[in-house]
Structure 1
């Protein structure tokens, strides 16, 4: 049993002061892991349904056969872990801007770190997802211009509530077209959002990924004593 509250790591970074905390949930007695950036809560292990649904819904729309997948944002690792549970995934590249977050997993300070680094299909890339998405060389520094079957993104709070102003360009038609260059024909782009479905963004997404849809993911929220919801947007590039 852990202590009631413990700060496992704290670092100043280019994005702000990031911290990893572990606390004991008084109701269940389980350990809860939380990440804060300055005073902003980024994520918690208390409910991970949205992160898991991002992988599940995105890969459900992916082409048949073996899959090469990119995850934007490592965080506590639940989207990456869920993707690796799909037996079709033969390689998983996870792009993370903060080396400190990758280190948490390497040092097994978070629950899924050992499972990720123990899977030969998993490879972290320390880099800016948004810059790599806009670049012709793409996400894999070892294989420039490599294409993927699915890109799963969970970094910003939503397309309208971004962590950094420069991220906003990705969610416009030109940014989405640049991202789509890194997908095979029929490849999938899926995006997690903490906001309710937004018709305007769904329409924008559909200009590049025909038939794009927004899925609402509901789950119990013990903090509020009720239910909460996330949104997962999913779109596919035209098949060849």
Structure 2
């Protein structure tokens, strides 16, 4: 059994000090993994329903058939990537992560999902800035410039209005969304996780660029605060 609390890693980065912690949940006895950036909690393995729903809802809207090529923006604890790999239609998965430290946590298997992601031949971890790559005409795959994908699943910022870095905000405007959509095949899907309620302004921006767009609320039990909590998953699709 693990210790009640361990700080598995702490690193200074250009975005701030990032840390990975593991603690034992007193009610269940299970290990809980948490990631903090300075004093801001980024994610916890106690709450993964939204991240899993991002993959489920995004891929449900993807083109029918097998051989889907998918990008996940943000590695984190690996929940969205792991959920995407459960879909047998996925042929390849590119996971873009700005912090090499987070990729190293998976490589060292400090995070449970690390062994699964690195052991699946369909999955490749890319150290890069998702937002810069989305705006670059060469696209997300450094090995295959201008490669297009069937789905892009993004979970990095807290929401389109609550971003981790000011430069990220441009992606959520129509011009940034158009550049991002250029990385998709016809009928391709862009899906986004948000910690905020549905945002009418952002949904309107999606409608300017994509043929279809909707915001879906994902609810789940909150064992810490009691009751239920909610995330939002936006799903948008390009014309076929």
Q: TM-score normalized by structure 2?
A: 0.99
Give, in angstroms, the shift of residue 121 of structure 1: 0.3
Does 2:107 correspond to 1:106? yes
Indicate the residue corresponding to 2:214 in structure 1: 213
2:81 matched residue in structure 1: 80
User: Displacement of 1:200 after TM fit?
Assistant: 1.2
Counterpart in the other structure of 1:179: 180
Partner of 2:10 in structure 1? 10
Report SS of the residue matched to 1:149.
strand
CA RMSD of superposed structures (Å): 0.5
Q: What TM-score, normalized to structure 1?
A: 0.99
Q: Which residue of 2 aligns with 1:45?
A: 45
Q: For residue 46 of structure 1, report the CA deviation from its aligned partner.
A: 0.5
Asked if the contact 2:212–2:238 (Cα under 8 Å) also holds between the matched residues in 1, the reply is no
CA distance in 1, matches of 2:43, 2:210: 28
Query: What SS does structure 1 have at the residue aligned with 2:95?
Result: strand
> Separation in 2 of the partners of 1:175 and 1:57?
22
Question: For residues 8-27 of structure 1, what are the alpha-carbon distances to aligned partners after superposition, in whole Å with 9 as ceiling and x for unaligned?
Answer: 00000111000000000001
C-alpha separation in 2, matches of 1:47 and 1:171: 25
SS in 2 for 1:186: strand
Provide Cα deviations, 1:58-79, integer angstroms capped at 9, x if missing partner: 0000001210000000000000
Q: How does 1:130-209 map to 2 (within 5 A)?
A: 130-209=131-210
> How many residues end up aligned between the 2 structures?
239
1:211: Cα distance to partner? 2.0
SS in 1 for 2:229: strand
Instruction: Give 1:125's aligned residue.
Output: 126
